[in-house]
A and B are shown apart, each in its own frame.
Chain A
Amino acid sequence: MELKEKLLSSFMAFEERIDVHSELHDVRTAAIKNFENKGFPTKKEESWKYTSLNAILKNDFSVFPKTENAIQYSDVKKYFLHEIDTYKVVFVDGVFSSHLSSTTHDGIDVCLMSSALNKPKYKMIIDTYFNKIASKEESLTSLNTAFANEGAYINIPKSKVADKPIEIMYFSTGSETAILVQPRNLVIVGENSHVQIIERHQSLNENPVLTNSVTEIFAQKRAIVDYYKIQNDNLEANLIDNTYVSQKQESHVSVHTFSFGGNLTRNNLNFYHFGERLTSTLNGITIIGESQHVDHYTLVNHATPNCESFQDYKGIFTDRSTGVFNGKVYVEREAQKTNAFQKSNNILLSDKATINAKPQLEIFADDVKCSHGCTIGQLDETAMFYMQQRGIPKKEAKALLMYAFSNAVIENIKIPELKQRITTIIANKLGVKIGFDL
């Protein structure tokens, strides 16, 4: 059976387990219909021109993993930011793992989507926010919405600073041959509140995984949200990340995406503006090799005046790896005095690596500052010679240059331990150990 058919019949099985008389069920039904009509995206669609899911969809994915696999914290400690204390919302094959997690309801809610969706006390919040900013048109988001049942639910009320970073972790053990997981996260950050979130998907063995994740982020007035996505999974793992951000006035939302691992990664990152004088930041570092593929598809929708957006994506590609950067900035007629900047800098380290960079600016206001710049280059030979001349061997010199190249994005990481972790991952990725902590 084709995966699409399998999913459609799985939805019927899913319905037997859930309350079909709720409004939520109407949302799910509409979503599965949209998916049924549109199916999986293909390269014929402009927005999927450079990314094909065909090979992945041939896997016989199990849609509802059967049991929770017991994982010891000691086995997976290295994937957490264990140097500091954090809240943790951890899932194993899509199922919440209470013993790996550290949730809270003390002043802030860091807990489970399943509770929020099913418990009456959250109903008003779910009615207000769930699936409100996520696309109802995009078929993969709809597929996720149809099955949305588990993930992280984070609600920071007005004027609260989350006292420690929150880690959202999805492990897949793939005890079944191949699994499809569809996490659904909802993050609501109240007026004047501040939160730092780290999201990671990690497969613990070699079985194929397809993750189709949807995250909705709502930033109220003057809220500050720093969101970090660490994508350093093994080469059998595939990730489609759909993130939707809704911002109110004077809020600051930054999403930093670090793509180092995985077989195929597609990041759909969408920002929508609903207030003035707000700032959106989209940063990314991509370092991939072999036949890895990473596709960043970003949208910033400037709908209100006096807002700013900054996009800065760095990509380093070796072997036969392929990258895509498609950055769309849409400035509506009302959005006067918009400042929108976009940068995509790429280095190709091999003749067989490719990058498709496509900036798209659609501007309907007349008093705006918008810029975009895409560069694709090779390693700076003069800089290499300079470092080698000082006694630094080629491999280490190359690593230092790569590090220098990504530095502007690294410098933006607000959690020092995370910054250290990212630089360590980069050093490992580049296969070097140099005289100081890279």
Chain B
Amino acid sequence: MLSIKNLHASIGDKEILKGINLQVNAGEVHAIMGPNGAGKSTLSAIIAGNENYEVTEGEIFLDGEDLADLAPEERAHKGVFLSFQYPVEIPGVSVTNFMRTAINETRKANGQEEMPANEMLKVIREKSELLEIDRKFLSRSLNEGFSGGEKKRNEIFQMAMLDPKLAILDETDSGLDIDALRIVANGVNKLKSDKNAVIVITHYQRLLDYIVPDFVHVLHNGKIVKSGGAELAHELEEKGYDWIKGEN
């Protein structure tokens, strides 16, 4: 599904990614771990099309299509979803209205009719229950005054609504207490299927107890320095990132 080849990227003069290779297939969960400053968030931003970063070398393919020339919204329309580490507040635009706009713009781009209002309500009800979100919450301005946990839960709610092909969760566990973590992870697990894929970006192993990855990659200094199964996350937790840094 996602195929990243020799990806180099920089911001300004600073090279952040120095040759990333990654293959993610449908039905798989990948975790990308690494110390602060390793380039984890940069990688996710670049996959989603953030124009602040410059791809200097290499390619990203989604189902065989080169993403290089696609704007962030075009990538979203093709099924790329990024759960933000710091979701943005949008006063005056309710969660429901924001979702309605996002879904209908996506449908429009894919040549579909707008989603009928009653169907929209049904989906909203279903997905908000899945994430244990109070209905009142949905009429509040997007992310405005939300707690850290509410923001993250809202991100996963949006993921559920948009039903992406590839979901990238950037530090979704940060700022979550244990109950919220369980709800969020449970939501992600229920959304998982053999048709979609999830990339979990995290500093800690904690979230991976709930969302069990098929593959774990360790990113350090702009490169994937180690890949393995779920057990690699535990090993990292035990030995710390110095272990990786020492080896490389």
- With known contacts A389-B82, A390-B98, A394-B71, A400–B158 Cβ distance under 8 A: no
**Chain A contacts for B109, CB-based, 8 A:** 391, 393
Q: Which of A381, A388, A391 has the most CB of B within 10 A?
A: A391
Question: Do A410 and B73 form a contact, CB below 8 Å, given A391-B106, A435-B104, A436-B101?
Answer: no
Given contacts A404-B93, A436-B101, 10 further A-B contacts (CB under 8 A): A383-B88, A383-B90, A389-B73, A389-B84, A390-B162, A391-B109, A392-B105, A394-B73, A400-B98, A404-B91
Q: A434-B101, A435-B97, A435-B105 are in contact. Are A389 and B92 (CB under 8 A)?
A: no
- Residues of B near A389 (CB, < 8 A) are 48-49, 72-73, 75-76, 80-82, 84
Interface residues on B, range: 35 or more
- Contacting pair A410 B92 (CB below 8 A): yes
Complex CA–CA separation, A380 to B101 (angstroms): 19
Contacts of A404 in B (CB 8 A): 90-93
Contacts of B97 in A (CB 8 A): 435-436
Q: Give the interface of A toward B (CB within 8 A).
A: 380-383, 385-394, 396-397, 400-401, 403-404, 407-408, 410-411, 434-436
CB-based contact B72/A388 at 8 Å: yes
Q: Determine the chain B residues whose CB is within 8 A of the CB of A407 once the complex forms.
A: 91-92, 141
Contact mask for chain B residues 153-185; partner A; CB cutoff 8 A; 1 contact, 0 none: 000001000100000000000000000000000
Assuming the A-B contacts A393-B73, A400-B93, are A386 and B88 also in contact, with contact meaning beta carbons closer than 8 angstroms in the complex?
Answer: yes
Q: How far is the CA of A390 from the CA of B79 in the complex (A)?
A: 10
Specify which of B77, B87, B103, B104 is in contact with A386 (CB 8 Å cutoff): B87
**Interface of B with A (CB < 8 Å)?**
45, 48-52, 71-73, 75-77, 80-82, 84, 86-88, 90-93, 97-98, 100-106, 109, 114, 141, 158, 162
User: With A and B bound together, what is the CA distance between A407 and B72 in angstroms?
Assistant: 26
Expressed in whole angstroms, the Cα–Cα distance for A411 and B91 within the complex equals 10
Residues of B within 8 A of A387 (CB): 88, 90, 102
Chain B residues near A383: list those with CB within 8 A: 88, 90
| Chain A residues, CB < 8 A from B82 | 389
> Who on chain A is nearest to B79 by CB?
A391
Partner of B76, one of A391, A408, A410: A391
Contacts of B72 in A (CB 8 A): 385, 388-389
Whole-angstrom CA separation of A389 from B82 in the bound complex: 7
- With A435-B100, A435-B114, A436-B97 known as contacts, the answer to whether A386 contacts B52 (CB < 8 A) is no
**Residues of chain A contacted by B75 (CB below 8 angstroms):** 389
Q: Which residues of B contact A382 (CB under 8 A)?
A: 86, 88
A-B contact pairs, 14 of them (CB 8 A): A385-B50, A385-B72, A388-B76, A389-B72, A390-B98, A391-B162, A392-B102, A400-B90, A401-B90, A404-B90, A404-B93, A411-B92, A435-B97, A435-B100
